[in-house]
């Protein structure tokens, strides 16, 4: 009889580790005491049944169907049979739902089959943790495709992202999933990197606050959130996937690590995934400073570190810092990796031989097993009433693309669309002749990220469609503008040099009252798309011949509205001056068509803001807004101008706003004190709208170079026409901390400039605060966020003893009343 034939006992014998009345730690120690060395090692591994690739159709020459790096190589090398891989127990089951197009019922049945095998094969009856991807929603057939993470950041709305993550988590838990491999907390350093679409932009504070909100949502549903990729992955040389990261520790600690720290401290994340890259020559998977000293000893993280897929054997095959996968496993284990994904290669039973030979302390095996078993106890997997069938009890009734999910996806999509410039053509009239052209106009796949199931797995299964209802912009705009005559022409593909469709597109444009050109990306994997994992860009020119198509459309003289649907920002300097309107939509998901159509028509008031800059020209990379003086201005020293076309935080609206009257509570505060910065924001237009008030700080003089400005707080403020509200930010001196020359985080005395406005370049309000007293070193217990309060009405909120100030003068006075403001979306 095989493990697949055996079944777990109906009445599990009660052992101490199965007693829910005992403390989690006591239950874990009880089961560890019963386990053999081989059984402990078994908990550190995983098995990816779907990695055999036998259910995929044969790829075309030069085409890859991989969904993970070098998947085909590892599949061809032959994984061990399931029975062998679970003989001593198993830590994780990999992507049971997400490797092939399965219905929720089929996926649940496979979970039950595999869990029964794992439990039956385990002497102690320990189930496996089931993990799945969830970067744009649950990566499963028929599951809601939400906007990509770069679009979450464009909402600047942590509460909304938290609600989305909770919905994703509930769907996953209903079908037997325990852990989600999300969110990506990589901070963008070079827009050419293919995985920009999976990030939350270029500012560490936005990534931290939106990322922590996602973690809270996922964890609220009982799903373990996994922070990735720890750390430095997004800063690879020349933006090449897996490329080396030429970054010192100070920059790493100030720009890359804060989102991970915040998501652990304020989000409650229970797992971290290592980066593939090496930083200054040290691969993350073999770096004890990163995985143990920083993560655990400084930050107090108690969860699990899981390897990115095949990152452990990559220490041998790619980084060449280990002789073979066995040595790679020993290095990763010592550094602080607890569980190897997606299959067991480096964490195999050869570790037992090394322990017995004295080459590896058994304490390292116990350490990793203890962490993994703690999570299994927390998840209820060792409770006496747990069963494989009970773990998927909700599968029969779950609708992975429910109306509630779709409404949430629509809200996110609408709030993420960024109006760059309304020009003189937006919003569109509801009548007349509209030419709709471009490769993204009638292909909803362009709305979806590379980890959305239709782009991630379904290319292996042509003929199955998208698996979800996802109207294209053509279909959505026809419904949005029933009185308009819409003519569609593709013009060109997203990729390639074919211009044969230009003539038809130009003819349609000449015959129209307005032309809407929809260009951008089609996400894919490992070179099979223009955005996504392994789809890095040489420069920031629109892919293929799309820029040429725009130039010829502009030359027709017909007003041209350009809609960019993309996973990264593209250089739009050449088209901006010739466009009658410009819109940026960052992969808005299955409801993206209706969201974009609503913004174009004016039905939806645009509220999205840029989490990345829009470059003017395609070269001169890299360059985000977080630059020291010599990176932010050429000073006549270089002929390359780093000024973007549209700055970080920018977003236009169909109404107008002004931010005025900065008041700072104290002229001086100690280096362990705090102050408030209050501004008034007013809707000066004729439509209701929502402004994003942004607060920046600048360290005037420091021991190391500092950014010329850096976001420290933000608040979304909805306003009726003519209405004004006060926004008050509570800023602790900790928010000025940076890593000093001695690599310790420091709050220095001295002047700090306070700037407020509506983007990194539109900061009409300026003042100064002086930090006094001794320099102060701070750690993980420092203040990580800047709370913001919004008053119900600015005219009513201003106290008579508040001293007003012209923008830039920095007068000081009481901060005004504190008001929770249910209508305030803030961080």
What is the greatest pairwise CA distance in the chain?
84
Q: Whole-number mean pLDDT of the chain?
A: 91
Q: Is the confidence at residue 64, as pLDDT, over 70?
A: no
Helix or strand or coil: residue 297? helix
Rounded to 5°, the CA angle 812-817-823 comes to 120
- Whole-angstrom Cα Rg for the chain: 27
What's the mean pLDDT in 388-406?
94
Q: Is the confidence at residue 502, as pLDDT, over 50?
A: yes
Alpha helix ranges (H) inside 130-243: 149-155, 158-174, 204-220
Instruction: Of 110, 103, 92, give the one whose Cα is nearest residue 45.
Output: 92
d(CA 355, CA 362): 6
In this predicted structure, what is the pLDDT of residue 631?
86
Contact 148, 589 (CB under 8 A): yes
Q: What percent of the chain stands above pLDDT 90?
A: 85
Contact 521, 552 (CB under 8 A): no
In this predicted structure, what is the pLDDT of residue 639?
84
Q: pLDDT per residue over 197-254, tens digit each?
A: 999 999 999 999 999 999 999 999 999 999 999 999 999 998 898 999 999 999 999 9
Strand partners of residue 669 = 771
Helix or strand or coil: residue 788? strand
Q: pLDDT per residue over 411-460, tens digit each?
A: 999 999 999 999 999 999 988 999 999 999 999 999 999 999 999 999 98
Contact 96, 133 (CB under 8 A): no
Q: Which helix H or strand E contains 565, and what residues bound it?
A: strand 560-565
Q: pLDDT per residue over 124-172, tens digit each?
A: 999 999 999 999 999 999 999 999 999 999 999 999 999 999 999 999 9
Query: Which single residue is written with the structure tokens 């709030």?
Result: 415
Instruction: Of 68, 97, 205, 210, give the one whose Cα is nearest residue 147.
Output: 210
Burial (CB count <10 Å: 0-12, 13-18, 19+), residue 359: exposed
* Phi and psi based region of residue 355 (left: phi greater than 0; alpha: psi -120 to 50; beta: remaining): alpha
Helix or strand or coil: residue 43? coil
Instruction: Of 628, 683, 609, 663, give the one whose Cα is nearest residue 806.
Output: 663
User: Which residues have a Cβ under 8 Å from the Cβ of 689 and sit 6 or more positions away?
Assistant: 605, 607, 653, 654, 655, 657, 683, 718, 719
With b for 16 or more beta-carbon neighbours within 10 A and e for fewer, the 133-171 pattern comes to bbbbbbbbbbbbbbbbbbbbbbbbbbbbbbbbbbbbbbb
d(CA 454, CA 138): 12
Q: Is the confidence at residue 6, as pLDDT, over 50?
A: no
């Amino acid at each position: 009889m095989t493990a697949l034939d055996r079944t777990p006992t109906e009445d599990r014998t009660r052992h101490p580790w199965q007693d829910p009345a005992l403390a989690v730690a006591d239950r874990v120690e009880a089961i560890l005491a019963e386990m053999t060395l081989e059984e402990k090692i078994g908990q550190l591994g995983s098995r990816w049944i779907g990695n055999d690739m036998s259910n995929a159709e044969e790829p075309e020459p030069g085409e890859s169907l991989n969904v993970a790096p070098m998947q085909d190589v590892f599949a061809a090398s032959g994984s061990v049979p399931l029975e062998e891989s679970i003989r001593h127990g198993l830590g994780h089951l990999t992507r049971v739902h997400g490797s092939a197009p399965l219905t929720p019922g089929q996926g649940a049945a496979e979970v039950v089959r595999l869990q029964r095998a794992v439990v039956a094969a385990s002497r102690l009856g320990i189930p496996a943790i089931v993990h799945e991807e969830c970067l744009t929603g649950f990566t499963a057939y028929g599951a809601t495709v939400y906007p990509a993470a770069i679009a979450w950041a464009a909402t600047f709305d942590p509460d909304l992202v938290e609600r989305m993550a909770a919905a994703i988590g509930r769907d996953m838990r209903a079908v037997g999933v325990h852990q989600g491999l999300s969110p990506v907390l990589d901070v963008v350093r070079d827009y050419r990197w293919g995985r920009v679409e999976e990030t939350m932009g270029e500012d560490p504070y936005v990534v931290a606050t939106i990322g922590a909100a996602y973690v809270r949502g996922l964890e609220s549903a009982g799903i373990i959130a996994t922070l990735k990729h720890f750390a430095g992955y997004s800063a690879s040389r020349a933006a090449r996937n897996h490329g080396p990261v030429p970054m010192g520790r100070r920059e790493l600690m100030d720009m890359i690590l804060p989102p991970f720290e915040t998501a652990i401290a304020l989000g409650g994340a229970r797992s971290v995934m290592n980066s593939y890259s090496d930083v200054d020559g040290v691969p993350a998977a073999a770096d004890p400073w990163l995985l143990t000293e920083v993560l655990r000893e400084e930050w107090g993280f108690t969860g699990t570190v899981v390897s990115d897929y095949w990152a452990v054997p990559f220490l041998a095959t790619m980084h060449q810092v280990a002789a073979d996968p066995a040595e790679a496993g020993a290095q990763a284990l010592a550094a602080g990796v607890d569980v190897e994904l997606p299959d067991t290669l480096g964490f195999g039973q050869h570790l037992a031989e090394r322990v017995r030979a004295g080459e590896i302390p058994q304490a390292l095996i116990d350490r990793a097993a203890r962490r993994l078993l703690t999570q299994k106890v927390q998840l209820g997997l060792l409770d006496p009433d747990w069963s494989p069938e009970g773990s998927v009890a909700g599968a029969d009734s779950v609708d992975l693309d429910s109306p509630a999910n779709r409404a949430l996806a629509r809200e996110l999509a609408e709030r993420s669309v960024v109006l760059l410039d309304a020009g003189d053509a937006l919003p569109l009239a509801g009548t007349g002749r509209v030419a709709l052209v471009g490769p993204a106009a009638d292909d909803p796949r362009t709305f979806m990220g590379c980890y959305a199931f239709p782009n991630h797995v379904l290319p292996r299964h042509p003929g199955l469609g998208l698996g979800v209802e996802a109207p294209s912009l053509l279909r959505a705009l026809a419904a949005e503008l029933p009185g308009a005559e819409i003519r569609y022409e593709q013009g060109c593909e997203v990729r390639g040099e074919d211009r044969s469709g230009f003539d038809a597109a130009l003819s349609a444009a000449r015959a129209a009252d307005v032309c809407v050109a929809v260009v951008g990306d089609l996400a894919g994997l490992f070179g099979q798309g223009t955005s996504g994992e392994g789809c890095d860009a040489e420069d920031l020119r629109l892919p293929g011949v799309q820029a040429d198509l725009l130039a010829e459309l502009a030359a027709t003289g017909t007003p041209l509205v350009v809609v960019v649907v993309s996973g990264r920002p593209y250089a739009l300097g050449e088209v901006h001056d010739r466009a009658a309107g410009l819109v940026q939509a960052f992969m808005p998901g299955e409801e993206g068509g209706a969201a974009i159509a609503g913004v174009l028509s004016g039905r939806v008031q645009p509220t999205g803001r840029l989490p990345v800059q829009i470059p003017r020209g395609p070269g001169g990379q890299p360059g985000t807004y977080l630059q020291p003086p010599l990176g932010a201005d050429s000073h006549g020293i270089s002929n390359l101008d780093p000024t973007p076309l549209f700055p970080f935080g920018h977003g236009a609206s169909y109404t107008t706003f002004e931010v005025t009257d900065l008041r700072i509570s104290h002229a001086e505060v100690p280096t362990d004190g705090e102050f408030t910065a209050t501004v008034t924001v007013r809707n000066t237009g004729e439509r209701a709208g929502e402004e994003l008030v942004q607060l920046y700080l600048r360290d005037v003089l420091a021991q190391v170079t500092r950014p010329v400005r850096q976001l420290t707080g933000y608040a979304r403020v909805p306003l009726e026409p003519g209405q004004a509200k006060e926004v008050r930010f509570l800023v602790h001196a900790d928010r000025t901390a940076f890593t000093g020359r001695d690599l310790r985080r420091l709050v220095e005395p001295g002047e700090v400039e306070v700037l407020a406005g509506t983007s990194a370049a539109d900061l009409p309000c300026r003042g100064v605060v002086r930090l006094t007293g001794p320099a102060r070193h701070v750690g993980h217990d420092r203040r990580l966020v800047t709370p913001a309060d919004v008053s119900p009405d600015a005219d009513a909120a201003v106290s008579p003893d508040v001293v007003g100030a012209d923008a830039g003068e920095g007068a000081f006075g009481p901060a005004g009343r504190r008001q929770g403001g249910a209508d305030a979306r803030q961080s």
